[in-house]
Amino acid sequence: MNARRFCRAVLLTLTLNVVGLLVLSAAQEAHPPHWAYEGKEGPKEWGNLDSSYAVCSVGKTQSPIDIKGAKKTDLPALNFSYHTIPLDIIDNGHTIQVNYAPGSMLTVGGKLYTLQQFHFHNPSEEHVNGKDFPLVAHLVHADAEGHLAVIAVLFELGNANPLIDTLWKNIPAVKEKPHDIPSISIQAQDLLPNERSYFTYAGSLTTPPCSEGVSWYVLSSHSTISPQQLAAFAKIYPMNARPIQPTNGREILLSKRGFDIPAKASRQ
């Protein structure tokens, strides 16, 4: 092989290596490192799985927390304007999630957020005065700048929730494959209790990458699910809750006033 051919071969090899690295990098970005709720990929290790997950270990305002010592404050009402939409549901490998079509809004003290999706954790990730709950729904919203606000609805055992009945009957058989069902309409407000007083604090996502800067609103009144509904979810996800994180001196507020909402108010 003469020098020119040798140089061409080396150049081709280098080019292929660079292309391979770019493809690998793109694949990694498209498919973030796998994480779990136990074992070597469990919550204690999330921060070590990838540099983009580092805040899971080093963050100072992580969620969930045990809500204790909340200060009663004159806070604005949570105003919900949710639309009825066709069901779009997915088992994403970590929870059952419903993706919400644009247009459903949450307003808090003049701040406007759009409902993006809601999902469930068993047991509840949040504790209140040391107590956890059988299930929690997290309704995830974003404003125009991408700031997140999450409504947490805690569930106690009791009467069945009709919306959850509908969701559980339509969980996709294949994980990570969205299931659009135009013939079924749902209304996210059917998860909420009628009384809308709340705790609020600054926190994070409860799953990797554990991004901070999330505004949390945990309803102080609870909804109900039946034991059968809880068992059906637990059959798929026996435990999908992150452990309680240090409060680190964060201020936790509780709305002074109750905000009673008639069962059918603001539903479209």
Per-residue tokens: 250: 């964060």
Selection from 151, 175, 174, 153 nearest residue 164 by Cα: 153
HSE, CB side, 13 Å, CA atoms: give it for residue 172.
19
Q: Evaluate whether 47 touches 58 at the Cβ level (below 8 Å).
A: yes
CA distance 155 to 59: 28
Rounded to whole angstroms, the Cα distance separating 126 from 75 reads 21
Residue of 34, 83, 94, 119 marked active site: 94
Distance of CA 98 to the CA centre of its chain: 10
Indicate if 94 belongs to the active site: yes
CA angle 187, 236, 244 (to 5 degrees): 80
Reading the block at residue 268, the tokens are 């479209």
The residues annotated as belonging to the active site are: 94
